[in-house]
Each structure stands twice: as structure tokens, then as C-alpha cells.
Amino acid sequence: MDAYSLSVALIELFASQNSQLASCGLATGFFYRRGDALYLITNWHVVTGVDPTTMMPVEEGPSPDVLVFHYKQTVDTTGKPIPAPAPAMANFPKQVNLYQAGAPTWFEHSARQNVDVVAVKLSQSDLGVFANVPVNEVDQSPELQAAAGMDCFVLGYPGMYSTTSPFGTAATRWTWISGSK
């Protein structure tokens, strides 16, 4: 399995309504480590339900206030999480409240209308036998350097999640058109 497949996470978004969670949609994120801290990186419009350029709702309906991301754990043949090496991996959900006392629980860029990205800090101790690989810890071999005119693939969960392929898929084929990184 390609290590980049272990850096992505399916995200489900929910709005609390009448003490129940109503689905707001699906998204993709990836894991990133800075020092000892682990983060889930996704888009600002994902966690707010608002287009950052127009400040209008992305879709009709409620805005999300709960995020559930799916992460991997190494498991034994019965599906019980165990330390690696293990015979298999399985997906596990983790719920994160997007607001605490009315304030966002994520970090965002000060120029958010120009930078559609957020970082949600995670408690790795709450994740058990975490088997995902933060994207900045994946081997960045020289063969992966992008250049103008090269094809690239975006890894994620386009459209919907597949129970037959829980490791993400190549979402879209893009051509790198700028030499700047």
C-alpha cells in the first residue's frame, strides 16, 4: 500500500438538531504532525459550511458543528486493535466538536478568505493504535517532485466513501501547470 493512502481521512459532517446529529455531507482531510502535535488538515469551508470568497452558505441546510473523521488502527484477525505489526488495518471513527463555548476548535489562517484551510488539533492518545502516516512523514523521494506539465493525482474520497476501498482513491487527474510550489 502506498504510504500516501495512509495520510488521508474521510470526514463526515453533522449538525446537532434536537439532540440528534443530522448529516451535512462528506469531505476529505489529511494528517499532519508538527513536533509532538497531530493535526487533521481540511478546508475552512468544510468546517463552516460557508464559501470563504462569498461568505455565503455552500449548500442549503444547517451548518456543521460536529466532525467525524475516520482513521486507521492495526488490528488482529478479530478486528481488535493491537500494536503493529498486525495482520490487518481497520477504520475507526472519531468525533470532534467543532465549537467549544461558541468558539471554533480549529486553527485557521489570519487571511482565511484567501486561505481555505484549517488545522484541527487531535489527541493522539485518544486514537489508540494509530496506523495513519502524517503526510509530512511520508518519504518524499525525488521521483515525486512536481514540475510544469506533469500529471498528478489528488488522493481522497471523491463523491462518497466506499466500503470496499477504505484507503482513499485517486480523485482526479490534474496537470501541473505552474513551476511554482
Q: DSSP letter string over 96-141?
A: EESEETTEESEEE-TTTTT---EEEEE-GGGGSSB----GGGS---
What pLDDT score was predicted for residue 155? Answer: 57
Judge whether 77 and 124 are in contact, CB under 8 Å.
no
pLDDT tens digits, 18-31: 889 999 988 999 99
- For residues 61 and 158, what is the distance between their CA atoms, to the nearest angstrom? 21
64 assigned to some structural domain: yes
CATH number for the domain including 67? Answer: 2.40.10
176 assigned to some structural domain: no
What pLDDT score was predicted for residue 52? Answer: 85
133 assigned to some structural domain: yes
82 assigned to some structural domain: yes
66 assigned to some structural domain: yes
Question: Domain of 140?
Answer: 3-144
Buried b (16+ CB within 10 A) or exposed e, 92-120: bebebebeeeeeeebebeeeeeeebbbbb
pLDDT tens digits, 119-157: 999 998 899 889 999 999 987 766 666 677 766 655 555
Note down pLDDT in tens along the chain; length 181 residues.
567 788 889 999 999 988 899 999 889 999 999 999 999 999 999 999 988 888 899 888 889 999 999 999 989 999 899 888 888 888 999 999 999 999 999 999 887 667 889 999 999 889 988 999 999 998 776 666 667 776 665 555 555 444 444 444 444 433 334 343 3
152 assigned to some structural domain: no
What pLDDT score was predicted for residue 86? Answer: 84
What pLDDT score was predicted for residue 101? Answer: 96
Q: Which amino acid is at 69?
A: F
7 assigned to some structural domain: yes
Query: Into how many domains does the chain fold?
Result: 1
116 assigned to some structural domain: yes
What pLDDT score was predicted for residue 87? Answer: 84
